[in-house]
Amino acid sequence: MSEKKSIAISSLKANTYYSEPLWIDESFMLLPADSPITVSLIENLRKWGYKEIESSGVPLTASHGNLDANLDSETKEFEGRRATLDFFFSFTEFIRKTYESFNSNGQLNLDSIAEQVRSTILMLKDYRAFILRLPSLKAEGIDYLYTHSARATIIALTIGNGFRLPHFRLIELGIAAILHEVGMMKIPSHVVNKTGKLTEREKRIISTHPLIGLKMLQNYSREHSNPITQKILLAIYQHHERLNGSGYPQGISGESITQFAKILAVACSYDAQISGRPFRESGESHMIILKMLKATHSLYDEGAITALLNSISVFALGSYVRLKNGSIGTIVDIGDTPRYPTIKLYLDENFQPYNEQPIIKTSENEAEFAITRVLGKREVQPLVARKLLPG
C-alpha cells in the first residue's frame, strides 16, 4: 500500500473521488474510497479550520453513472434503515400502550392490533432485508418486554410466511405474538427487572405468566362481543411448552402443542437469546440458530426452525463475516440457500475499503468467497469506531 500524502483543502474539487480513503488523521477516516467529494464537504472542512487531509490514493473524476449508482445505493441503505427503525419504534410504543391499557382498565382494541399485524406483514414484504437484521432492531427508552414482543412478532410472522399460512391465519398468529407476554404485566416488577440470577422461587413466579395471560384474555372474551379465538389463546398459553415435555406451564409435549405455539416458542426463544439483558450479553446470532437447530425434535419444531433458517440464514442478516480471501462484508440477503447468503463487501484483506462495495452471491462453487467465520462484537466495534464499517 502507498504512503499517505497531504492534500490541500484548496485543491479538492466537487464530484471527484479518490482511489483510496481520505483521512483527517491516522485514526479518523473522512471518506471511504467510493464516496464522491461534495461542495458541502469542502465548505465544512474550511469552516472547521482544516488546511489539508491525507490519502494514499489518486484523484479520479466520478462519472455520472458511477456517482449516481453509489449515491443511489447509499440512499437506499439509509432510507431502508431509517424506515425500519422508525417503524420498530412506533411498533414497540404501540405494544407498550396496548399492554398498559389492558393491564390497568381491561381495554383491548383487537381491530387496531390486527391492523398493526397487517402493517408488520407489509414491512416484511417491502423492507425484508432491513427488518430481519434482528439484532439491530432497538428502541431507546422502551422496556425489553415491549421490544421483545415486537421482535418476536416479526420472527413469528416470518416463520408463518415460511409455512405459507393464509393471510387470516397470519393475522391470528401476529395477534398471538403481540399479546404473548401480556401476563408479565402481573408479575412483580422486582422479579421482571432483576439484573442478577433468578432464585428458584422467582423462576416459578415467572413461569406463571402464560397462565396469567390466558386468564386475562379469557376474562376479556367473556365480557366482549368479539372474543379472542381459541387458536390465539392456546398459542399464548403454550408458547413456553417444549416438544419433549420439558416446558411450562403444563409440561405437555409433541402434537399436544398447537402449531401457533410451536412457532411462538421458536420466535420467543430466538429473540430472547440474541437480545442483550442487564444480567447477560446477547449471544451471536449464528451460534444461537445452530444451537436451536441441534435442539429440533427435543425442544423445537423442525418446520418452524427450518422456516426461520430459510428466512434469516445460518448467518443472520446484518452480521459481519470474513471470507476465505480475507475480505470483510455484511449479510444483506440469504441468497438461494441459507448456507450461501448474499454479501456486501466493505473491506479487502488489508482492511482497505472497496471502491464500489461490491455485492456478491456466495456459492459452494466459489471457494474464494466462502464464509470462514462470523466476526464477533469485539472485532466489529473497533472497525465501526474507525469508520471502516457502518454502525
Residue 100, beta-bridge partner list? none
pLDDT band at 138 (very low <50, low <70, confident <90, very high): confident
Residue 279's pLDDT band (boundaries 50, 70, 90)? very low
Distance (Å, whole) CA 123 – CA 1: 44
Encode pLDDT of 281-323 as tens digits: 545 666 788 888 888 889 999 999 999 988 876 777 788 889 9
What is the rounded CA–CA span in Å between residue 344 and residue 329? 5
Q: Which residue has the higher pLDDT, 259 or 378?
A: 259
Element (H, E) at 210: helix 209-223
Is the pLDDT at 278 greater than 50, yes or no?
A: no
CB atoms within 10 A of CB 387: 18
Cα–Cα distance measured from residue 377 to residue 155, given in angstroms and rounded to the nearest whole number: 22
Cell of 122: 407489509
Per-residue pLDDT, 56: 85
SS (H, E, C) 157-205: HHHHHHCCCCHHHHHHHHHHHHHCCHHHHHCCHHHHCCCCCCCHHHHHH
**What is the location of CATH 1.10.3210.10 in the chain?**
68-312
| Exposure string for 99-108, b = 16+ CB within 10 A, e = fewer | beebeeeeeb
Instruction: Give the residue with greater pLDDT, 345 vs 21.
Output: 345
CATH fold of 68-312 reads Hypothetical protein af1432 (1.10.3210)
Which of 128, 246, 249, 110 lies closest to 178, judged by CA? 110
Burial class from Cβ neighbours inside 10 Å (0-12, 13-18, 19+) for residue 59 reads middle
Highest mean pLDDT pick, 1-5, 267-271, 315-319: 267-271
Q: In what order do the strands lie in the sheet with 359-361?
A: 359-361, 340-347, 328-337, 320-323, 371-374
pLDDT class of 27 with cuts at 50, 70, 90:
low
Question: How far is it, in rounded angstroms, from Cα 349 to Cα 369?
Answer: 12
pLDDT band at 67 (very low <50, low <70, confident <90, very high): very low
Whether residue 382 has a cis bond before it, omega within 30° of 0: no
Q: Is the pLDDT of residue 326 over 80?
A: yes
